[in-house]
């Protein structure tokens, strides 16, 4: 796992976006996995800028999102489909039919989740999966205690997640109690994982995920098993890292070409 500590959120977002852009330029028909939440918004803004200013072409790209609230359709103000449209898809030239966000209104959750897994397989797998991390160390909606081999499924959200996400809704009781989420096992099947982490409130979770034991209580820690994961974080998020000097040293060596 490579850890890149950036001076601030903007620098973190630009460096993370560059990794995505390099892949799209090298493989125009790349399959990208996307996440929602505040952490990747800067990354998405930079990709939109690259598309408009530098001609970064998404016309052959296919995308899969990690999750969606159960019960919300794509027009709901807090649906993740709407989030992706407003923060990225409407600003780049990816064909909308190539963008896949789990359905929050599927008639049969189990059937839909199986189909979503098959869609990823049929697309050739995810080349690069963008991730964030919850304040309790969860990745996607894989709450503490989730199986590290889990697949896409219906999940019940913890009180911590409900509290964290209540700021996006008019009332706390409006936050959906369940969601469709890619499993940890599905995420680990991506060829490369890219996690963006910002803010002091994520410092403990990041340290546990990167430097703690691999445990289902911190589902993001499973990324330690992945052969190609890069973590971009800002200074506040890096505050709890014990190996900070080592991570910085590695980046200096890479910059020097050593």
How confident is the model over 74-95, as pLDDT tens digits? 899 899 999 999 999 999 999 9
| Residue 238 vs residue 168, higher pLDDT | 238
CATH class, 2-255 region: alpha beta
| Percent above pLDDT 70 for the chain | 100
The dihedral over CA atoms of 163, 164, 166, 169, expressed in degrees to the nearest 10, equals: -170
Task: Please say if the pLDDT value at position 238 is more than 90.
Answer: yes
Task: Please say if the pLDDT value at position 258 is more than 70.
Answer: no
pTM of the model: 0.95
DSSP state of 86: H
Helices (H) and strands (E) in the chain, counts: 8, 10
Average pLDDT over residues 1-29: 98
How confident is the model over 159-212, as pLDDT tens digits? 888 888 888 888 888 888 999 999 999 999 999 999 999 999 999 999 999 999
- Strand 67-69 vs strand 178-181: parallel, antiparallel, or unpaired? antiparallel
Is-contact 42 12, C-beta < 8 A?
yes
Task: Please say if the pLDDT value at position 228 is more than 80.
Answer: yes
Measured distance CA(113)–CA(152) in Å, rounded: 5
How confident is the model over 240-252, as pLDDT tens digits? 999 999 999 999 9
Please, how many CA atoms are within 13 Å of residue 209, restricted to the half-sphere of its CB? 33
Per-domain boundaries in the chain = 2-255
pLDDT of residue 161: 85
Q: Which of 204, 187, 214, 193 is nearest to 238 (CA)?
A: 204
Q: Which of 157, 181, 175 is nearest to 78 (CA)?
A: 175
pLDDT of residue 62: 98
Active site residues: 67, 136, 138, 143
Task: Please say if the pLDDT value at position 239 is more than 80.
Answer: yes
How confident is the model over 116-172, as pLDDT tens digits? 999 999 999 999 999 999 999 999 999 999 999 999 999 999 888 888 888 888 888
> Distances from the Cα of 55 to the Cαs of 21, 49, 95, in angstroms?
11, 9, 16
Task: Please say if the pLDDT value at position 231 is more than 80.
Answer: yes
How confident is the model over 34-71, as pLDDT tens digits? 999 999 999 999 999 999 999 999 999 999 999 999 99
């Amino acid at each position: 796992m490579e850890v890149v500590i950036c001076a601030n959120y903007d620098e973190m977002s630009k460096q993370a976006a560059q990794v995505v852009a390099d892949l799209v330029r090298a493989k125009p028909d790349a399959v990208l996995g996307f996440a929602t939440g505040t952490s990747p918004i800067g990354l998405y803004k930079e990709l939109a800028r690259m598309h408009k200013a530098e001609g970064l072409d998404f016309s052959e790209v296919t995308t899969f999102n990690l999750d969606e609230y159960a019960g919300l359709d794509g027009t709901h103000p807090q649906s993740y489909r709407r989030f992706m449209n407003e923060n990225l898809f409407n600003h780049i030239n990816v064909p909308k039919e190539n963008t896949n966000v789990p359905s929050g209104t599927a008639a049969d959750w189990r059937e839909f989740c199986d189909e979503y897994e098959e869609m990823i397989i049929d697309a050739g797998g995810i080349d690069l999966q963008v991730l964030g991390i919850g304040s309790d160390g969860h990745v996607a909606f894989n709450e503490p205690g989730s199986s590290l081999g889990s697949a896409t499924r219906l999940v019940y959200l913890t009180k911590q997640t409900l509290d964290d996400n209540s700021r996006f809704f008019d009332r706390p009781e409006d936050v959906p109690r369940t969601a469709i989420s890619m499993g940890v096992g599905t995420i680990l099947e991506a060829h490369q994982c890219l996690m963006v982490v910002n803010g002091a409130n994520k410092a403990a979770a990041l340290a546990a995920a990167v430097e703690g034991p691999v445990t289902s209580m911190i589902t993001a820690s499973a990324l330690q098993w992945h052969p190609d994961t890069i973590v971009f974080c800002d200074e506040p998020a890096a505050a709890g890292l014990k190996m900070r000097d080592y991570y910085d040293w590695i980046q200096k060596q890479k910059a020097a070409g050593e």
